[in-house]
Amino acid sequence: MAYPNLVMFDVDETLIDHEKSARLALEAVINNIEEFSGICYSELMEIWARDFQKYWKDVIFGKTTIEENRINRFESTLKELGSSEPEATALKAAEIYGHVYDSSISAIPGSHDFIMMIRELEIPVALITNNLVENQKMKLEKSGFSNMYDFMITSEETGLFKPDGEMFNKALERFGVSPEQALMIGNSFAEDVVGAFNAGVKAAWFNRSRFKPLQSDVEYLEIHDFQPVEITLNTVISWF
């Protein structure tokens, strides 16, 4: 059986359960801050996530910190909800959110075993993430991935964002691997699947939430879970 010579992974919502931590953190905000007591989680998440990309790029380019980003987003959310003291309440909300999020970081079920099986095949593992170096290292350490990858490429270091194919090219160059010999696994169709396609790399869409696929001419493999690990791995590498 042929194998890829490099497997690349996204981080959040592919290896690390960001959604779970974000949900627990927002629920803690709702339960502990009166201004949010009349709103349900889904409503708060919709407002909270609306301008994520706009705020996040300021973090990546060093215009603000992650903590300041959370304060700004909560302040914007509180103003939309008609809060009389959005600044002070946003500070408290950001502190609660950060504490709960960081303390609840964990791996996607089966992801450890999946990567371990790849490494047992002596295939290098690279991570490609639209995030900050230290923030991702912290999450990877807390979720048990510190020694389970060979190289990480971030938007902070490169100034690039998936789906820019150059993010993937940097990993290919690092390991001297041609695009057709590599595989990308990620949860975002627009960033990971399309980005891999832009670089000529095969992609497996980790569609855990079973979203409907976007209209696209991009070829990809779709998986919904890492478990059972052996079956999923065989499905993925059988593409080569």
Would strands 6-9 and 182-186 be described as parallel, antiparallel, or unpaired?
A: parallel
76 and 137, same domain (yes or no): no
Is the residue at 1 inside a domain?
Answer: no
The residue segments making up the domain with residue 75 are: 18-103
141 and 40, same domain (yes or no): no
**Domain end marker among 41, 75, 103:** 103
Rounded Cα gap, residues 67 and 69, in angstroms: 5
Alpha-carbon Rg for the chain, nearest whole angstrom, is: 19
Q: Are 133 and 10 in contact (CB under 8 A)?
A: no
**Residue 181: phi, psi to the nearest 5?**
-100, 5
Among the residues of the chain, which ranges form H helices?
Answer: 18-32, 41-50, 52-60, 66-80, 86-103, 111-120, 133-142, 155-158, 165-175, 194-198, 229-237
**Domain end marker among 46, 75, 103:** 103
Assign residue 116 the CATH number of its domain: 3.40.50.1000
* Confidence (pLDDT) at 150: 97
User: How crowded is residue 66: how many other Cβ atoms within 10 Å of its Cβ?
Assistant: 15
115 and 225, same domain (yes or no): yes
* Confidence (pLDDT) at 192: 97
As a whole number, mean pLDDT of residues 112-140 equals 97
* Confidence (pLDDT) at 1: 63
Q: Look up residue 9 and give its two tokens.
A: 């992974």
Question: What share of the chain has pLDDT > 90, as a percent?
Answer: 79
Is the residue at 49 inside a domain?
Answer: yes
Q: How far is CA 161 from the centre of its chain?
A: 12
133 and 174, same domain (yes or no): yes
Is the residue at 60 inside a domain?
Answer: yes
Assign residue 28 the CATH number of its domain: 1.10.150
> How many domains is the chain built from?
2
**Domain end marker among 69, 88, 103:** 103
Alpha-carbon torsion (33, 34, 38, 44), positive or negative: negative
* Average pLDDT of the residues of the chain: 93
As a whole number, mean pLDDT of residues 43-72 equals 88
Report residue 140's pLDDT band, with 50, 70 and 90 as the boundaries.
very high
